[in-house]
Structure 1
Amino acid sequence: MGIGVWELLLLFLIVLLLFGTKRLRNIGSDLGSAIKSFRNAMSEGDDEKPGRTIDGEAVHENKDKP
């Protein structure tokens, strides 16, 4: 037992009547830009890690010392 096509269509129509097309378009645009910025932040965070993790401890490599 789950949500069928008719239930989803009815739900969409109710949301459309409550918010209107312009507001739904703005909400969708804001949500898309938030997801895009979140993905960019996650990929930038991976590149900025200076050290590596060994057995749960952070090891910072110092390139000046041998």
Structure 2
Amino acid sequence: MFGIGVPELLILLVIVLVIFGAGKLPKVMGDLGRGVNSFKKAMDEPDAPADKPKTIEGESSSDSEKKA
């Protein structure tokens, strides 16, 4: 479907070098790598437990116990 070959990758590399410059490219790629690692780590962690459900009036159950 999308035929990305060697010539297309070389053109893309040249465009990236022109935009970012050879000096900034390692920093940009390092930042991108840290972002991907952070995303993967967040995907592997289990979800945080949900807060206690709130009552109809909008008070949590612990708030209503304190008032009573």
Which of the five TM-score ranges fits, normalised by the shorter chain?
A: 0.5 to 0.7
The alignment's TM-score, normalised by the length of structure 1, stands at: 0.53
Structure 1 gap ranges (5+): 51-66
Distance 1:25 1:17 in 2: 14
Deviation of the 1:47 alpha carbon: 6.3
RMSD between superposed Cα atoms in Å: 2.3
User: What is the CA deviation profile of residues 21-50 of structure 1, one whole-angstrom value per residue up to 9, with x for unaligned ones?
Assistant: 222211111111111112222222x16458
Q: What residue in structure 2 maps to residue 41 of structure 1?
A: 42
Q: Report which structure shows greater RCO (CA 8 Å, sep ≥6).
A: 1
SS at match of 2:4: coil
Structure having the higher helix fraction is: 2
Structure of larger gyration radius: 2
Q: What residue in structure 1 maps to residue 14 of structure 2?
A: 13
What percentage of residue pairs aligned between the two structures are identical?
A: 47
Aligned length: 49
Structure having the higher strand fraction is: 1
Q: How does 1:19-38 map to 2 (within 5 A)?
A: 19-38=20-39
The alignment's TM-score, normalised by the length of structure 2, stands at: 0.52
Structure 2 gap ranges (5+): 51-68
